[in-house]
């Protein structure tokens, strides 16, 4: 049985909502902005060419791998420069993209489960992505949002989980990290000393033998059920 859990950290993309519909929406919003404000750039930089430029930027600047916002800004800066357009376009173009990126479609269980969890335990998000919980409307349920951009390194680097534990004021062994990614959410958090929950919405088989999640659940509703039962039967020690 797991020790007493005193806080929960959660991944965001593909844990609270599917990421690809949000990214598709964001790219479409950028296409629309370019067509309205810089039609020549829109013609020169359709999505496949933008994606190739993004990959090129990523290869050239590996030290920025943890900062998706900076990567996107650099891609836009280069795109406009190569098209002979001023850098003043970068911020409004990014805003068009990012506003749509934060228009996420929650999994059906997400909001109710988060409300149940937040009523029981302090929640914090630990994510490699750059989604904004304030824009999305979930920030009132979280103590804080910790991203790889702010921390300076991405999961599965142990330090990002440990910073979250320190900010929560809870020992890592009493923090449950929840997410969908085998390496970033389970292996990384376990190596940092946290307890782990793998959210497996597709019903897959756990792929590793050396490290296993403490909990293997199909969705956040099941996690909320587990927390209710765990706290109801757990007797804290002094």
Catalytic residue numbers read: 11
User: If we measure between CA atoms, which residue out of 93, 106, 94, 102 comes closest to residue 145?
Assistant: 102
DSSP-derived letter for residue 123 is E
Distance CA 228, CA 116 (A): 9
3-state secondary structure of 194: coil
User: If we measure between CA atoms, which residue out of 103, 96, 132 comes closest to residue 21?
Assistant: 103
Structure token pair of residue 208:
């590793």
Distance CA 198, CA 183 (A): 10
Distance CA 55, CA 61 (A): 10
Query: Is the bond leading into 79 cis (omega within 30 degrees of zero)?
Result: no
């Amino acid at each position: 049985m797991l020790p007493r859990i005193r806080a929960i950290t959660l991944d965001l993309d593909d844990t609270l909502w599917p990421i690809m519909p949000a990214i598709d929406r964001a790219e479409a919003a950028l296409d629309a902005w370019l067509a309205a404000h810089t039609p020549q750039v829109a013609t020169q930089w359709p999505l496949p060419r933008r994606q190739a430029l993004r990959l090129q930027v990523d290869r050239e600047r590996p030290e920025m791998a943890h900062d998706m916002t900076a990567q996107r800004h650099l891609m836009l800066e280069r795109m406009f420069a190569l098209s002979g357009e001023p850098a003043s376009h970068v911020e409004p173009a990014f805003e068009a993209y990012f506003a749509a990126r934060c228009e996420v479609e929650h999994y059906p269980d997400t909001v109710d489960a988060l409300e149940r969890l937040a009523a029981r335990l302090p929640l914090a998000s630990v994510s490699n992505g750059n989604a904004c919980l304030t824009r999305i409307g979930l920030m009132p349920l979280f103590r804080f949002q910790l991203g790889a951009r702010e921390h300076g390194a991405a999961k599965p680097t142990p330090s990002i989980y440990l910073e979250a534990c320190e900010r929560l004021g809870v020992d890592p062994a009493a923090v449950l990290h929840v997410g969908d990614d085998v390496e970033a959410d389970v292996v990384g958090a376990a190596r940092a000393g946290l307890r782990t929950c793998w959210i497996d919405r597709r019903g897959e088989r756990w792929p590793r033998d050396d490290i296993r999640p403490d909990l293997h659940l199909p969705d956040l509703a099941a996690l909320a059920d587990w927390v209710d039962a765990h706290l109801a039967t757990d007797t804290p020690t002094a």
